[in-house]
Structure 1
Amino acid sequence: MPGAPASGGGGGGLRRNAVWAFVGAILASVVWTGTVVVVPGIVGGESSAKSLGGYHAVDRICDAGKLTAFRGKYKMVDNYPLEHAGRSDSMDVMRCYALMKRTPEGSETPEYATLDIRVELHKAVDSVPEFAAVRHYFEQQKYEITDAPGLGEEAYFAYGDEPTSSDKTFHDINYHLQVRDGGMTYSLYWTDNYQTGENHTLDRETVRKAMLDDTRDMLKAIGGP
């Protein structure tokens, strides 16, 4: 993985930390697949697309949105963020994935976290059923769901903290911020990890505020209000 720590004293733990972060981001990418499985019927059929208002696709969404809040707390690992955009008659998609690190106060060991942003501009179908189905997926996975104020027509946080392996002392912390505004759907996934007794992660409110602040900047950068 580009920018991952080299081996050495404590290297195994560092590599595990970075790998967990990467795996967390990959899991975020399959939420849609899981949603289709647990909520059949959201694909297919005919529906009317919602207005996109001023939203438009950009080639590098994280560059456009700056990520000021998260960059103020973490350093971007070399070669990140990775950014992609795809355009078609039915939907434009923008994606940004970043591996970030910070060294907690009193520690010499860097901690790694990942940020994964995906924006879809639905031109051909109604975005509402899909957005509702993703929320239903989080509910079925027993995530803690709370409203996210001041974003789009509807927005919420989904939060989960769960063991990552047979060793129950290792945990993934998963934050999702989901926003829908007309035919635009937005997802910011942030994941961190810790071992019981060695938890140096940022507190929940700090992460939530960074997600909100960077999301507002991101949506404005692609034509939102």
Structure 2
Amino acid sequence: MAAMPMAGYGQPGTPMGAPPTMAPGGPAGGGGRGGRIWLWGLGGAILASAVWAGALLATGGFGGSDKPKADLAGYTYTDDLCDPTDTKTFEDAGYEVKGADSRNSSNPTHSSSQNPALDSMSCNIDFKPDSASSSDYSSVWLYTTASLHKKTDPAPEFEATYRAYESQKTSSYSYKVKAVGGLGDEAYVVTQTSRSSSSTGGYVILGVRDGWTTYQSTWSEYVSSSSGATAKTDDEAVDMLKKSAKATLAKMKE
């Protein structure tokens, strides 16, 4: 009588746990219908795994994360920032643009640059007080800059940029920084305080962040003590900068 295989073992000569010698459901040789079904099932599993892996990569499922998209708040690049810069506010306050009536005037001046990460624009305008005579010495200028941050959000460092002025003190002057409302997502004013009682001018900076767009305007004024003109107070300068910035930023969205 032939010996029977022991329970738990495969065919004689086949190690325990070894795979079957032919695909399930088909004869040896793999050329039958069962072999094709097995191959189709394997191909479907591979395809499903590839689709699943692709979906994970696309959605950051493997631990990656998509970089945030730049929020420029509707502002656009211009190669001449002086064009949208509001000067009417200063003209209404008693100033005029130097050389405005001259075709050969080099005032105002501007510069700009575009880059995949950052677009930068600037404008510098020289003014003179309406009440100043031709012999009076005065230096009044407005310097504005605008930046479109296309790769990095400026929000985390924006306030710190202006708060840093508070630590800049000398024997001649110091700075005060305060937050102001009504402009963009956040805005700060920096005023220079002179320790000299004979000061006849002012220096004020306004910084605005709206989304990933930043804007800054600087007012600098010096009027000689013998001049018939009077320099604006810091509060008056701040009001002018805020009003001008609001008008300028609105034009930059057009």
TM-score (norm 1): 0.67
Q: 2:215 aligns with which of 172, 186, 194?
A: 186
Q: Is the CA contact (8 Å cut-off) linking 1:77 and 1:100 kept in structure 2?
A: yes
Q: 1:115 — aligned with what?
A: 142
Superimposed CA distance per residue, residues 76-120 of structure 1 (whole angstroms, 9 cap, x where no aligned partner): 123211112211111111100111111437996253211110111
Specify the code of the residue in structure 2 equivalent to 1:64.
P
- Residue 137 of structure 1 is matched in structure 2 by 164
Deviations 1:149-195 (A, max 9, x none): 2100100111013369xxx8456521000100110111101111256
Gaps of 5+ in 1: 1-46
Letter in 2 for 1:57: Y
Q: How does 1:167-182 map to 2 (within 5 A)?
A: 169=198, 173-182=202-211
- Measured in 1, the distance between the counterparts of 2:201 and 2:137 equals 16
What residue number does 1:18 align with? none
2-structure distance, mates of 1:126, 1:145: 22
SS in 2 for 1:63: coil
Distance 1:90 1:75 in 2: 36
| One-letter code aligned to 2:88 | T
- The alpha carbon displacement at 1:130 in A equals 3.4
Quick check: which has more Rg, 1 or 2? 2
Query: Measured at CA, do residues 155 and 117 of structure 1 come closer, stay the same or move farther in structure 2, by a change above 3 Å?
Result: same
Number of equivalent positions: 175
| Worse-matched range after superposition: 155-164 or 50-59 | 155-164
Q: CA–CA distance in 2 between the matches of 1:56 and 1:117?
A: 16
What is the rounded CA distance, in whole Å, between the counterparts of 1:49 and 1:171 in structure 2? Answer: 47
Give 2:185's aligned residue: 153
Query: What does 1:1-225 correspond to in 2, within 5 Å?
Result: 48=68, 50-72=70-92, 73-78=94-99, 79-104=106-131, 109-141=136-168, 142-162=174-194, 169=198, 173-194=202-223, 200-223=230-253
Report the AA paired with residue 93 of structure 1.
S
Amino acid corresponding to residue 184 of structure 1 in structure 2:
T
- Percentage identity across aligned positions? 23
- Segments of 5+ residues of structure 2 without an aligned counterpart are 1-66, 100-105, 169-173
Kindly provide the amino acid, as one letter, of the partner of residue 97 in structure 2.
Answer: M
> Residue in 2 aligned with 1:17?
none
Deviations 1:126-164 (A, max 9, x none): 212331231221121242222322100100111013369
CA distance in 1, matches of 2:176, 2:146: 23
TM-score w.r.t. the length of structure 2 is 0.60
* 1:200–1:80 distance in 2 versus 1, CA, 3 Å: same
Structure with the bigger RCO (C-alpha within 8 Å, sep 6+) is 1
* Structure 2 equivalent of residue 30 of structure 1: none
Report the more deviating stretch, 47-56 or 134-143.
47-56
Q: Distance in 2 between matches of 1:169 and 1:203?
A: 14
Aligned letter for 2:222?
Answer: N
Tell whether the 8 Å contact from 2:113 to 2:121 is kept in structure 1 after alignment: yes
Following superposition, the deviation at residue 55 of structure 1 comes to 0.8
Let me know the Cα RMSD of the aligned residues.
Answer: 2.8
User: Could you tell me which residue of structure 1 aligns to residue 46 of structure 2?
Assistant: none
Equivalent pair of 1:104/1:110 in contact (CA under 8 Å): no
SS of residue matched to 1:62:
coil
